[in-house]
Amino acid sequence: MLSEIARADHLEVAYKGHPVWSDANFRIHRGEFIAVIGPNGAGKTTLFRLLLGLIRPTGGSLEVFGGPPRRGNSRIGYVPQNHEVDKDTNVAADELVRLGFSGSRWYPTLTPRGLRAEREAADEALQSVQATELGKEPLGNLSGGELQRIFLAEALVGRPELLLLDEPLSSLDLRRSEELVNVVNGLVRSRGVTTLLVAHDINPLIHHLDQVMYVANGRVATGLPSQVLTTKNLTALYGVPVEVLHGSRGRMAIIGGENPHGDPNG
């Protein structure tokens, strides 16, 4: 019971009066790395917004940390979809991470001790995503993969127990994706940070996942990767033919349908 981070029973949600999905049942346990997959517009981000307490369910029940979702819950770290800064943002990256630590307070940090705590927390968060050397760089100078690591540090700096990452891989090539997934997986395994990651391309994630949540056709279902990632399931999920191939050493390859952002080899 203690290890349960979130649970949904017959959960139902609507967007502008139209049902998005219904009858969702899942359990999220402490220390799990979960991929959330499904076609565009199926309601993956909606799931995150429910967990964050930004929207309310229209039916069923959802509990996060043993209670109803609460907006501003500091136990949840969040990196939104299409998260970017414009190229002119000449602000050092670690300033954003520090803001993640103390930027929501209604008073300025003025004491040397408070400032030191803030700096140390930011440095530690940057180190945990292997971005120490990026801290002094202006945000506008960073590449897509570097930015994602900074956003990750910004989300981590408050030491959340649950991390919600909405398509952090969408603008990255396969190599950068794998690097970021390795960083995230390291966080999950070494710190026990439960992580939900929305992705279109499951390939960089396959070997690290504990669960897969699939959101499609008005349903959310959860299962082990080996149960969910089958030709039959994914074809039904995306509505286009998808083939799951099994290689040597238990590796899996998913061909077709999984990556609408290009990268035909993905």
Partner 1 sequence: MSGYGWVWWSWNLGADLRDMLQYEFIRNALEAGTIIAIVAGVVSYLVVLRRSSFAAHALGHIGFSGAAGAVLFAVAPIYGLLLATTVSGAAMAVLGKTAATRDVEIGTVLAFVLALGLLFLSFYKGYATEAYSILFGEIVGISSSQVVFTLEASIPVMVVLGLVYRQLLFASLDEEVAEAKGMHTVLLGVIFMVSLAVAISIAVTIIGVLLIFALTVTPAAIAIRLATRPLYAVILSVLIALGAMWAGIFIGFYEIEPTSFFIVTIVFVAYVLVRTVPLIPPLFRRSSPGPTLALAPMSSPPGPAEPLAGSAANPERT
Q: How many residues bind partner 1 (CB under 8 A)?
A: 38
What are the C-alpha distances in Å from 221 to residues 10, 24, 42, 246? Answer: 11, 7, 12, 23
223: contact with partner 1 by CB under 8 A: no
Stretch that binds partner 1, among 70-78, 173-181, 221-229, 246-254 (CB under 8 A): 70-78
Q: How far is the CB of 240 from partner 1 (least distance, A)?
A: 31
At its nearest, how many Å lie between partner 1 and the CB of residue 258?
26
Provide the token pair at 31: 């220390």
What are the residues whose beta carbons fall under 8 Å from the beta carbon of 13, sequence distance 6 or more?
A: 19, 20, 21, 22, 43, 46, 47, 50, 55, 57, 58
| Closer residue to partner 1, CB minimum distance, 52 or 215 | 52
- The correct pick among 18, 40, 67, 71 for binding partner 1 (CB under 8 A) is 71
Q: Tell me the C-alpha distance between 132 and 93, whole Å.
A: 10
Half-sphere exposure of 43 (CA within 13 A, CB side): 27
Helix (H, G, I), strand (E, B) or coil at 25: strand
Q: How far is the CB of 212 from partner 1 (least distance, A)?
A: 24
Please tell me whether residue 55 binds partner 1 under the rule CB under 8 A: no
Backbone angles phi, psi at 246, to 5 degrees: -110, 120
Of the CA atoms within 13 Å of residue 152, those in its CB half-sphere come to: 32
Q: What is residue 7's three-state secondary structure?
A: strand
248 phi/psi in degrees, rounded to 5? -70, 165
Please list every residue from 104 through 143 that binds partner 1, using CB under 8 A: 104-109, 136-141
Identified binder of partner 1 from the candidate list 78, 197, 200, 211, rule CB under 8 A: 78
> Does the protein bind partner 1 through residue 96 (CB under 8 A)?
yes
Residue closer to partner 1, measured from CB, 21 or 78 = 78
Rounded to the nearest whole angstrom, what is the least distance from the CB of residue 169 to partner 1 in the complex?
18
* Dist CA 251 CA 234 (whole Å): 17
Q: Select 17 or 86, whichever has its Cβ closest to partner 1.
A: 86
Q: Per CB under 8 A, does 54 bind partner 1?
A: yes
- In the numeric block, which tokens belong to residue 146? 């570097």
Residues 33-52 that bind partner 1 (CB under 8 A): 52
Rounded Cα–Cα distance for residues 215 and 222 (Å): 9
Q: Which is nearer to partner 1, 4 or 95 (CB)?
A: 95
Query: Does residue number 80 form part of the binding site for partner 1 (CB under 8 A)?
Result: yes
Whose Cβ is closer to partner 1: residue 27's or residue 119's?
Answer: 119
Nearest to partner 1 of 95, 210 (CB atom): 95
| CA separation for the pair 108, 67 (Å, rounded) | 31
**Shortest approach of partner 1 to residue 117 CB, angstroms?**
14
Name the site residues for partner 1 (rule: CB under 8 A).
52, 54, 71-74, 78-80, 83, 85-92, 95-96, 99-100, 102-109, 136-141, 154-155
